[in-house]
Amino acid sequence: MKQFVVLPKLQKGDRVSIISPSADLAGRFPWVTELGLKRLHDVFGLKPVEYPTTRKLGASLEARAQDIMAAFEDKDTKAVIATLGGDDQIKLLKHLNPEVIQANPKPFFGYSDNTHLQLYLWNLGIPSYYGGCLMTQFGMEQAMHDYTVEYLNHAFFDTGDYELKRSDVYNDISNEWANKDELEKERVLEPNNQWFWDGHGDIEGTLWGGCLESMVVESAAGIYFPKDKDLDGTILFIESADGNTDEWIADYILSGFGERGWLDKFQAVLVGRAKAWELNLHRTVEEKTEYRKKQREQIVKTIRQYNKTIPIIQNLDFGHTDPQAVLPNGGRVRVRSGEQRIFLQY
């Protein structure tokens, strides 16, 4: 079983590194960036520190990689937070020096395209936190969601087991960042469904996973996936980042995992609510419901071809949804199927 370092918790007043390892939207929409920085200070009592490419437009892969290493090496900061995701992060991993990062472990926060850096850290035995990007969760329009703040506080400051709860409402409809006035508007919140639970068993394991779109290129590259033996006793988590991600993508990724023998290694599968709306793809409530239903059914169908019993829990509040629970990637999770409860170890 893979072993992980234990990272120290933050304290109020600590400095944290802010980097842009993927898209350069922090420079394109500085008013959103500034709001996120303000929330880090006002809500969490942390002091953000930016790096050369944090707001630089069109920064090279090499320059962004240098910022990642500088952020981990910086003795004055206690965590690293990504501004946002993107679509090319896997290309910069070859420019990282694993010895530098391994010698300076600290918690990293991000999701979506940041899956790649999290998988890289996982292989080095460094846990991270899936969620909590500066421009989305911290820079949430009007105010941060209490649910999001709760799980970020656990990740930043708390140690121990905390129950993963279901939010009564959710949002996946984005506002237009190009219009500064949108920051004053509350996002549309919709009633949330219950969790969809299939399978049985009370188990415990170490989290490993990320977003499905990132897993597509990771599967093709085959460079940064863990060794088979390192996945013994793990729990897979996945979620889809794009409203255009049809169910066949989940089928292909999970089939690949099944053919590798991984679906016999995973103790359970946690699935975040599928993002079903985009600025260029406006679905009705009914259309979103059907879109998610197709993905849920396909995930169960594919996994059951390889493993008949492991718990599959879907519609969880992590990934491309708000409010958002931050998952401890590389941390321990307990699944209690009889009670239909999940506990995360921060």
Domain ends where: 125, 160, 195? 160
Q: Please tell me the pTM assigned to this model.
A: 0.97
Q: Is the pLDDT of residue 279 over 90?
A: no
Question: Which of 35-49, 100-114, 162-176 has the weakest average pLDDT?
Answer: 162-176
Q: Is the pLDDT of residue 244 over 90?
A: no
Question: Are residues 66 and 78 located together in one domain of the fold?
Answer: yes
pLDDT of amino acid 278: 84
pLDDT of amino acid 220: 96
Question: Are residues 150 and 288 located together in one domain of the fold?
Answer: no
Q: Is the pLDDT of residue 53 over 90?
A: yes
Count of structural domains within the chain? 2
List the structure tokens of 99. Answer: 């010895």
What average pLDDT does this structure show over 11-35? 98
pLDDT of amino acid 307: 98
Asked if residue 1 is part of any domain, the answer here is no
User: What Å distances lie between residue 132 and 79, 149, 202, CA to CA?
Assistant: 12, 9, 29
pLDDT of amino acid 107: 98
Q: What is the CATH number of the domain that holds 178?
A: 3.50.30.60
pLDDT of amino acid 17: 98
pLDDT of amino acid 1: 84
Determine the distance from the C-alpha atom of residue 83 to the mean position of all C-alpha atoms in its chain, rounded to a whole number. 13
Q: Which domain holds residue 265?
A: 163-345
Average pLDDT score, the chain? 96
Confidence of residue 173 (pLDDT cuts 50, 70, 90): confident
Torsion, Cα 127 131 136 137, to 10 degrees, reads -100
Tell me the DSSP string of 40-97.
HHHHH--EEEE-TTSS-TT--HHHHHHHHHHHHH-TTEEEEEES---S-GGGGGGG--
Domain ends where: 160, 180, 195? 160
Question: Are residues 139 and 181 located together in one domain of the fold?
Answer: no
Question: Which of 73-77, 98-102, 164-168, 284-288 has the weakest average pLDDT?
Answer: 284-288
Domain ends where: 160, 185, 209? 160
Asked if residue 5 is part of any domain, the answer here is no
Say how far apart CA 327 and CA 131 lie, in whole Å. Answer: 7
pLDDT of amino acid 55: 98
pLDDT of amino acid 22: 98
Asked if residue 3 is part of any domain, the answer here is no
Question: Are residues 138 and 53 located together in one domain of the fold?
Answer: yes
What average pLDDT does this structure show over 331-345? 98
Question: Are residues 186 and 304 located together in one domain of the fold?
Answer: yes
What average pLDDT does this structure show over 221-225? 96
Residue matched to tokens 């460079």: 223
Asked if residue 10 is part of any domain, the answer here is no
Question: Are residues 148 and 167 located together in one domain of the fold?
Answer: no
What average pLDDT does this structure show over 89-117? 98
pLDDT of amino acid 243: 80
Question: Are residues 200 and 148 located together in one domain of the fold?
Answer: no
pLDDT of amino acid 247: 94
Asked if residue 4 is part of any domain, the answer here is no
Say how far apart CA 155 and CA 21 lie, in whole Å. Answer: 21
Quote the Cα angle for 342-137-58, to 5°.
125
Q: Is the pLDDT of residue 277 over 90?
A: no
pLDDT of amino acid 330: 98
Question: Are residues 220 and 121 located together in one domain of the fold?
Answer: no
Report helix angle 212-221 to 115-123, nearest 10: 50
What average pLDDT does this structure show over 240-261? 94
Asked if residue 51 is part of any domain, the answer here is yes
pLDDT of amino acid 295: 96
Asked if residue 8 is part of any domain, the answer here is no
Asked if residue 7 is part of any domain, the answer here is no
Q: Is the pLDDT of residue 242 over 90?
A: no
pLDDT digits (tens, 9 = 90+) for 300-331: 999 999 999 999 999 999 999 999 999 999 99
pLDDT of amino acid 303: 98
What average pLDDT does this structure show over 285-308? 96
Q: Is the pLDDT of residue 289 over 90?
A: yes
Q: Is the pLDDT of residue 174 over 90?
A: no
Q: Residue 295: which of 247, 248, 252 has the closest Cα?
A: 247
